[in-house]
């Protein structure tokens, strides 16, 4: 992809086929819910990260380093899914680390979509659609792994998608960099998904609510503080 960018479409198609075949192999040569989730998560991580690398102004060694990180994360995701397929359970460390992987995938894929919209001069509709699809998929992964009831999943998913799309629409007019906007989206997704998860498991207390309000305030204040520093000192 780096040396032959003109063949980008074919490289991406080959990468997608490889991910699907790898998921099928890890899923013991069958297509069930676990295999579908694995395929979706690998496509989300690898394709989103690849788009991020293609649109970011990075040197070759930086691309190689991040590509190694993507490979390592993909291996761990496949390993934990294989363990779930064999035992029918998710180890607690896997749920914790896969939660972080989900946030990382959301960040790099959202940034990749924003870069692509700018680069190809696309309408904001495509960005809103891409963001809505991935936040809904990420929320379903959370429900599935933690064994949360999915009876009202679509209600929570639609609310999350609408909130995310409105955030993308509003921030589209801001003269802020893409990483700033993506981080705001990440904060909204993290707070909403964890809030809903606690609520459905019946452990959403006043203490937990205030903890999340404090986390949101700290994250937003930190984000705007560093953004203000770059505005005051643009050469830093």
CA–CA separation, 49 vs 59, rounded Å?
A: 16
Q: Which residues contact 135 (CB under 8 A, 6 or more apart)?
A: 106, 160, 161, 164, 189
Q: Return the pLDDT at 202.
A: 77
Cβ contacts of 21-30, under 8 Å, gap ≥ 24: 22/78, 23/78, 26/78, 26/81, 26/82, 26/85, 27/81, 27/85, 28/85
- The CA-based angle 45-53-64, given to 5 degrees, is 95
Q: Return the pLDDT at 236.
A: 38
Q: Return the pLDDT at 215.
A: 79
- Percent of the chain scored above 90 by pLDDT? 40
From residue 38, how far is each of 80, 94, 150, 187, 223 by CA, in Å?
10, 14, 19, 24, 33
Domain parsing of the chain, residue ranges: 1-89, 123-236
**Which residues of the chain, if any, have pLDDT below 50?**
231-236
Whole-model pTM: value is 0.86
Q: Return the pLDDT at 41.
A: 96
202 Rama class: left (phi>0) / alpha (psi -120 to 50) / beta = left
Buried/exposed code over 191-209 (b: 16+ C-beta within 10 A; e: otherwise): ebbbebbbebeeebeeeee
């Amino acid at each position: 992809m780096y040396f032959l960018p003109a063949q980008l479409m074919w490289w991406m198609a080959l990468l997608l086929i490889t991910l699907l075949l790898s998921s099928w192999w890890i899923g013991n040569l069958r297509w069930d819910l676990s295999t579908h989730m694995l395929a979706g998560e690998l496509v989300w991580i690898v394709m989103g990260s690849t788009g991020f690398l293609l649109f970011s102004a990075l040197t070759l060694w930086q691309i190689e380093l991040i590509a190694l990180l993507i490979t390592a994360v993909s291996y761990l995701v496949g390993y934990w899914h294989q363990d779930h397929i064999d035992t029918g359970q998710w180890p607690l460390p896997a749920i914790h680390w896969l939660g972080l992987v989900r946030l990382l995938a959301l960040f790099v894929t959202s940034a990749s979509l924003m870069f692509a919209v700018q680069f190809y001069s696309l309408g904001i509709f495509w960005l809103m659609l891409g963001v809505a699809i991935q936040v809904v998929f990420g929320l379903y992964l959370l429900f599935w792994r933690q064994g949360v009831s999915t009876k009202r999943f679509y209600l929570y998913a639609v609310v999350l998608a609408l909130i995310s799309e409105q955030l993308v629409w509003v921030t589209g007019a801001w003269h802020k960099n893409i990483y700033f906007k993506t981080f705001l989206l990440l904060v909204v997704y993290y707070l909403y998904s964890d809030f809903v998860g606690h609520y459905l498991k019946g452990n959403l207390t006043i203490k937990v609510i205030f903890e999340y309000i404090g986390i949101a305030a700290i994250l937003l204040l930190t984000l705007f503080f560093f953004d203000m520093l770059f505005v005051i000192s643009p050469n830093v």
